[in-house]
């Protein structure tokens, strides 16, 4: 969750410019009052950088130094821009433009295109992969799905680094970039892709920036018009700026220097997309008179978490490491980070679910807990483990809150009740705003107690429950508020994408967790081959993986769990070892990690293994997962579960599959959970294809963890043996 949603009450707008500065620490106050000339804010994780820059803008506006319409604040995600707009509104600085680079550029492009080019702006494609596929076909280059995705990413990198097709091979060699195919082939594919876009009169996401840059460079009258509109610029997450975004920023600025940038080189984790911290690190060189403020007071994490975070960076190398910030926790002491080793990945997922259940019992809200992993393919195992434990969860990167169908319908219902509530019998017994909202949303599916299990029904309930909680907080902050006032608040929040908290454990990749924070964080899969990832080979790539783990660790406020598994699946050879990044930091490991912050030595806890079940035969060697039909290496989680490509023919026992589905329906009905909580469809297909004959063979089917083997193993093996459980009176 974000810092904006952590405090769910509605703060009062400060009544004066000086009131905007109240509560800021000395360094944050320096940022807020440095309103002239270039300013560079080096802000460590959890040090309140968003607070500092939003108070800077608000103070300038409230003091009459900055005109709201003349300020453009840019960041990298719609969520971050929405959070910034929400905070500025709460500080009395509505009217300031807070947008992503692409959103700001698109508005300008749409406005100036008729004047600069003529006609309407070409259509922007949502996904470029189909045109890349067509370009590959035109070039007679055969690409499988993974190669197609990688080639598309390579074209995106070339465009944000302002590399044209003819220069691609040289640019890739100069930067040491490993191309997914021969560089000459990528260059040919890139050129064909650009030709197809022109032929179809479409543009892509990167073209929005490129075309805006082109117009501002070529049309001085348009550039002057933009500069007359925007005179003050703030750039958040400046370490993630690409060369193309930096060029656009320079064109916006012109010869002025009213620029404030905020960043942390130690959180540079998107270099594969063209992002570079060089612009942040070279800021004083480009602006010798710049004011530089360092924020190192960490208000997010306990001293124990900060101690580990500082230790991770103390081992780092390279230019970003030379500019690392040593954090100083401002919070009370908390528990030591917990390091846990598990026998296999399903056991690791079940261990995380078990610990989360304990946290929930201790009163930690589910929305304050997150499981973070290196790749999205790891998600399914944890989804299954949480579903088995009856723990609600939400996937990060899913549909935005205010775009969800149930939220849209709820908004319509609340708006109707606000207009015609006196004629609505639902509101007869509602004595205050929260009870009115509960009454209206009860007609949309909200109930005082959540539905059993997980899945779509639970997700809809969680969305409605978030609106109920928001109404309660709104009524506390504004006791005289009416239903119409709440509807207006929801409209403003929807415009700012300032979503309320959804009650569910968050599942997210480490990359998508950037900018978020939780009370309890489980960083899973912290093993060699996953952290750092196998394909990170150069020193620069290894250091970026270290920074990615640093970002994950610094998401935790109090409880931090790091875990790894010795093998991927039950019965696999235990050949993995903990990540090298933990050497010298976790108890029992050797290393030379500097310990700049005093702290304890942490705790160690051995995880549960598959003891108590019939062990699966151990593999004698570890080899890449390959399709058992065509032999191709598998990387997709779903294909790895089936041990074959989706396109390859299945030898599934159709009769067994149908019996398994019927049996699963009975189990789901008895437990009050969705069917996939028993076994997913892919797991049933894998069972029907492999037809296991004993517990060891069944345990090797991905998706059959220790708990499910114990709970359902006898039934599944009986069905595989051809017995009809229903006829035998044993339907569960």
- Annotated ligand binding at 48? The verdict is yes
- Annotated ligand binding at 367? The verdict is no
CA-based R_g, the chain, Å? 27
Helix H or strand E segment including 629: none
- Report how far apart, in Å, the C-alpha atoms of 447 and of each of 8, 437, 439 are: 21, 12, 10
Q: Which residues contact 473 (CB under 8 A, 6 or more apart)?
A: 8, 9, 10
- Annotated ligand binding at 455? The verdict is no
- Annotated ligand binding at 58? The verdict is no
- Annotated ligand binding at 47? The verdict is yes
Per-residue b or e along 671-680, where b marks 16 or more CB atoms closer than 10 Å to that residue's CB = bebbbbbbbb
Alpha helices in 315-344 (DSSP H): 319-322
Distance separating alpha carbons of residues 577 and 307, to the nearest angstrom:
23
- Annotated ligand binding at 529? The verdict is no
> Do strands 328-329 and 393-395 pair parallel, antiparallel, or not at all (unpaired)?
unpaired
- Annotated ligand binding at 623? The verdict is no
Distance separating alpha carbons of residues 100 and 497, to the nearest angstrom:
13
Residue 727 phi, psi (nearest 5): -65, -30
Cα dihedral 174, 177, 178, 184 sign: negative
Distance separating alpha carbons of residues 372 and 101, to the nearest angstrom:
27
- Annotated ligand binding at 50? The verdict is yes
The shares of helix, strand and coil residues in the chain, as percent rounded to the nearest 5, are 50, 10, 40
Residue 306 phi, psi (nearest 5): -60, -40
Q: Which residues contact 198 (CB under 8 A, 6 or more apart)?
A: none
**Cβ atoms within 10 Å, residue 729:** 6
Query: Could you identify the residue written with the tokens 């059993």?
Result: 452
**Cβ atoms within 10 Å, residue 110:** 12
**Cβ atoms within 10 Å, residue 404:** 18
Cα dihedral 637, 638, 639, 640 sign: positive
Cα dihedral 183, 187, 192, 197 sign: positive
| 3-state DSSP assignment of residue 398 | coil
537-544, long-range: CB < 8 A, 24+ apart: 537/178, 538/176, 539/317, 539/318, 540/176, 540/271, 540/318, 543/316, 543/317, 543/318, 543/320, 543/321, 544/268, 544/269, 544/271
Query: Could you identify the residue written with the tokens 């995880």?
Result: 607
**DSSP symbol at 470:** H
**Cβ atoms within 10 Å, residue 290:** 18
The annotation places the binding site at: 43-50
Mark the binding-site residues for ATP, compressed into ranges.
43-50
């Amino acid at each position: 969750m974000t810092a904006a949603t952590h405090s769910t009450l509605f703060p009062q707008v400060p009544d004066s410019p000086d009131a905007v500065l109240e509560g800021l620490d000395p360094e944050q106050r320096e940022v807020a009052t440095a309103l002239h000339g270039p300013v560079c804010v080096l802000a460590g994780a959890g040090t309140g950088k968003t607070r500092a820059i939003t108070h800077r803008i608000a103070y300038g506006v409230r003091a009459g130094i900055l005109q709201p319409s003349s300020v453009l604040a840019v960041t990298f995600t719609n969520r971050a821009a929405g959070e910034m707009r929400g905070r500025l509104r709460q500080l009395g600085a509505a009217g300031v433009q807070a947008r992503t680079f692409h959103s700001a550029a698109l508005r300008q492009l749409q406005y100036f295109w008729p004047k600069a080019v003529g006609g309407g702006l070409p259509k922007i494609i949502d996904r470029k992969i189909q045109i890349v596929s067509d370009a590959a076909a035109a070039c007679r280059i055969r690409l499988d799905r993974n190669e197609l995705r990688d080639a598309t990413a390579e074209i995106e990198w070339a465009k944000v680094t302002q590399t044209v097709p003819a220069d691609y091979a040289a640019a890739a060699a100069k930067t040491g970039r490993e191309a997914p195919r021969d560089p000459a082939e990528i260059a040919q594919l890139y050129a064909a892709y650009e030709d197809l876009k022109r032929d179809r009169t479409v543009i892509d996401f990167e073209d929005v920036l490129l075309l805006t840059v082109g117009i501002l460079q070529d049309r001085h009258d348009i550039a002057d018009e933009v500069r007359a509109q925007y005179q003050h610029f703030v750039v958040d997450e400046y370490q993630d700026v690409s060369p193309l975004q930096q060029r656009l920023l320079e064109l916006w600025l012109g010869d002025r220097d009213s620029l404030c940038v905020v960043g942390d080189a130690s959180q540079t984790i998107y270099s594969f997309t063209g992002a570079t911290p060089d612009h942040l690190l070279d800021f004083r060189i480009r602006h010798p008179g710049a004011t530089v403020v360092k924020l190192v007071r960490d208000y997010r994490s306990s001293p124990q978490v900060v101690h580990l975070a500082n230790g991770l960076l103390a081992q780092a190398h390279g230019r970003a490491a030379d500019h690392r910030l040593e954090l100083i926790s401002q919070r009370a002491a908390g528990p030591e980070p917990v390091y846990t080793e598990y026998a296999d990945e399903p056991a690791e997922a079940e261990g995380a679910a078990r610990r989360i259940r304990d946290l929930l019992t201790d009163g930690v809200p589910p929305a304050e807990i997150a499981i973070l992993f290196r790749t999205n393919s790891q998600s399914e195992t944890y989804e299954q483990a949480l579903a088995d434990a009856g723990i609600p969860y939400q996937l990060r990167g899913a549909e935005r809150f205010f775009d969800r169908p149930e939220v849209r319908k709820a908004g319509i219902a609340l708006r109707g009740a606000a207009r015609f509530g006196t004629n609505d019998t639902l509101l007869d017994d509602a004595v205050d705003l929260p009870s009115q909202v509960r009454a209206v949303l009860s007609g949309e599916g909200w109930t005082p107690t959540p539905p059993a299990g997980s899945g779509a029904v639970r997700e809809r309930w969680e969305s409605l429950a978030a609106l109920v909680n928001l109404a309660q907080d709104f009524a506390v902050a504004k006791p005289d508020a009416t239903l119409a006032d709440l509807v207006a608040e929801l409209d403003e929040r929807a415009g700012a994408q300032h979503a309320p908290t959804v009650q569910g454990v968050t599942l997210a990749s480490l990359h998508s967790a950037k900018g978020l924070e939780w009370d309890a964080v489980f960083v899973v899969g912290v093993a060699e081959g996953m952290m750092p990832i196998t394909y990170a080979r150069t020193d620069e790539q290894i250091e970026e993986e270290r920074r990615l783990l640093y970002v994950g660790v610094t998401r935790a406020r109090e409880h931090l769990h790091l875990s790894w598994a010795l093998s991927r699946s039950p019965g696999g050879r235990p050949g993995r070892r903990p990540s090298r990044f933990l050497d010298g930091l976790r108890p029992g490991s050797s290393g030379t990690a500097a310990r700049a912050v005093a702290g304890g030595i942490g705790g160690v806890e051995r995880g549960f293994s598959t003891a108590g079940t019939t062990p699966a035969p151990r593999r004698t060697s570890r080899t890449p997962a390959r399709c058992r039909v065509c032999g191709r290496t598998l990387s997709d989680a779903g294909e790895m579960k089936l041990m074959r490509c989706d396109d390859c023919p299945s030898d599934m026992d159709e009769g067994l599959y149908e019996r398994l589905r019927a049996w699963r329906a009975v189990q789901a009905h008895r437990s009050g959970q969705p069917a996939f909580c028993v076994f997913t469809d892919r797991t049933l297909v894998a069972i029907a294809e492999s037809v296991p004959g004993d517990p060891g063979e069944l345990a090797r089917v991905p998706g059959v963890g220790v708990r499910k083997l114990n709970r359902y193993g006898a039934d599944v093996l009986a069905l595989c043996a051809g017995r009809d459980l229903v006829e035998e009176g044993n339907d569960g």
